[in-house]
Amino acid sequence: MIEDVEVSGKRVLLRADLNVTFKPGSTRIADDSRIHASVATIELLRSRGARVVLCSHLGRPKGKVVPEMRIEPVRERMSEVLGVDVGYAGGPVGEEAERVVESLNDSDVAMLENLRFDPGEEDNDADFSNSLASLADVFVNDAFGASHRAHASIVGVADLLPTYAGLLMRAEIVALERAVDSAERPAVAILGGSKVADKLGVVKNLAPNTDAVLIGGGMVSAMLAAQGKSVGSVDVSDDEMKAAKELLDDPIVVDKLHLPTDVIVAEEFSGDSRYIETSADSVPESGFILDIGSQTISNYVDAIGTAEKIVWNGPMGLFEWEAFSGGTQSIASAISDNESAFKLAGGGSTVEAINSLGIADAITHISTGGGASLEFLEGKTLPGIAALHVI
Ligand code: 3PG
């Protein structure tokens, strides 16, 4: 465990997932929760006198320098959050980075440039991994959110240096293992979001150890269409139809599956559209299903209230639009009100909903991973976790 490692005076390469979102068209950070979530490991290393070489990817620059994806806003915010000046290392690797790292004193922190500016990162290139490894004596991987990527800074370096999991990585693994485990019952999975295909693997993997799988969000249209029901103006793609049918045809899944019995249908796809609440069996020929209805909310709230384990990924409707936020808000309140359950939430828009409703403190663990959490919940082996050997 990283707490047992003598890091004083050593250079520690710390891979974090600082891939934050920005306000549209600006370099102002919209959500800095990944920065805050990375602080515990940085502080642990600093308190033990390590020389911290912090690194992350930012966006998808595809192996080129893209000026608006420079790490600078992240470095600046990290300096503010830590209350120390985080140095800038110039490049992801290279002479300047080497010079900056050599000049670090014990407990100092410097940040490398966006790792994905170098094509070697995503290619898991041996030279790039060697260059990164040459900057450090020890490697700590705290980037759970990127652990589904077999990239140089996630798996390549782990073969070249003594490697440990960071505190966030460990907390994520422990919480997600608990989420997929069968022990706590009744267990409820609440799954929303726009595509059934994205959640197919999660539903199939969770269903055997779950008592109720509650479905909401954009997925509802495909699920109802696959049952032969009208879903208004929405054109459900063949892929979505196939994924929805696969769930309905799975005997274990279908036994646990709860679909909305009523829905909110907007005349137009707009936040100020007129809307009606209607039975899921009689959605008009035109219009858009943008939220779950009140009877569905009541059923879902009952299931959540008696659960001992709750896994939540995906809003119930288009909650960004006030008129269609009722389902997500009610589900969030019910989760918050259940004080005894283990509660895990994940996914970008779920976390956004949690933060905007101010219920973050009521969730046992909010995962910093998007794709990584989903792959874990699907039961896949994540290359970044496999590369750790010891956690
Ligand atoms: C994320 O935002 O889910 C992680 O940082 C991984 O980013 P990626 O999908 O661009 O690899």
Active site residue 34: yes
* Per-residue pLDDT tens digits for 123-139: 999 999 999 999 999 99
pLDDT at 109: 98
Q: Tell me the two tokens of residue 65.
A: 């320098």
| Atom number, ligand 1, closest to the C-alpha of residue 370 | 3
DSSP-derived pairing of the beta strands 275-279 and 262-266: antiparallel
pLDDT at position 62 over 90: yes
| Atom number, ligand 1, closest to the C-alpha of residue 143 | 5
pLDDT at position 332 over 80: yes
Q: Residues near 293 by Cβ (< 8 Å), separated by ≥ 6?
A: 260, 261, 262, 263, 264, 277, 278, 280, 327
Average pLDDT rounded to a whole number, residues 367-380: 95
pLDDT at 340: 96
DSSP-derived pairing of the beta strands 262-266 and 288-292: antiparallel
Residue of 15, 34, 309, 343 marked catalytic? 34
Mean pLDDT across the chain, nearest whole number?
95
pLDDT at position 204 over 80: yes
pLDDT at 66: 96
Q: Does the beta carbon of 145 lie inside 6 Å of ligand 1? A: yes
Average pLDDT rounded to a whole number, residues 40-61: 98
Residue of 178, 195, 229, 242 marked catalytic? 195
* Per-residue pLDDT tens digits for 167-194: 999 999 999 999 999 889 999 999 998 8
Residue of 63, 94, 271, 371 marked catalytic? 371
Active site residue 371: yes
* Per-residue pLDDT tens digits for 295-319: 999 999 999 999 999 999 999 999 9
pLDDT at 347: 81
| Atom number, ligand 1, closest to the C-alpha of residue 369 | 3
Q: Which residues pair with 346 in a beta bridge?
A: 313
Report DSSP state, residue 105: P
pLDDT at 348: 75
pLDDT at 390: 65
Q: Does the beta carbon of 17 lie inside 6 Å of ligand 1? A: yes
Strand order in the sheet with 187-191: 257-258, 212-215, 187-191, 309-313, 342-346, 365-366
Average pLDDT rounded to a whole number, residues 338-347: 94
> How far, in Å, from the CA of 36 to the mean position of ligand 1?
17
Q: Does the beta carbon of 201 lie inside 6 Å of ligand 1? A: no
Residue with CA nearest ligand 1 atom 6: 146
Q: What is the CA radius of gyration of the chain?
A: 23
Q: Does the beta carbon of 199 lie inside 6 Å of ligand 1? A: no
pLDDT at 357: 87
- pLDDT bin (cut points 50, 70, 90) of residue 11 is very high
Q: pTM to 2 decimals?
A: 0.93
> How far, in Å, from the CA of 349 to the mean position of ligand 1?
14
In angstroms, the CA 240 to CA 236 distance is: 6
Residue with CA nearest ligand 1 atom 9: 371
Phi, psi of 67 (to 5 degrees): -50, -40
The H-assigned helical ranges of 287-390 are 294-305, 326-337, 348-357, 371-377, 383-386
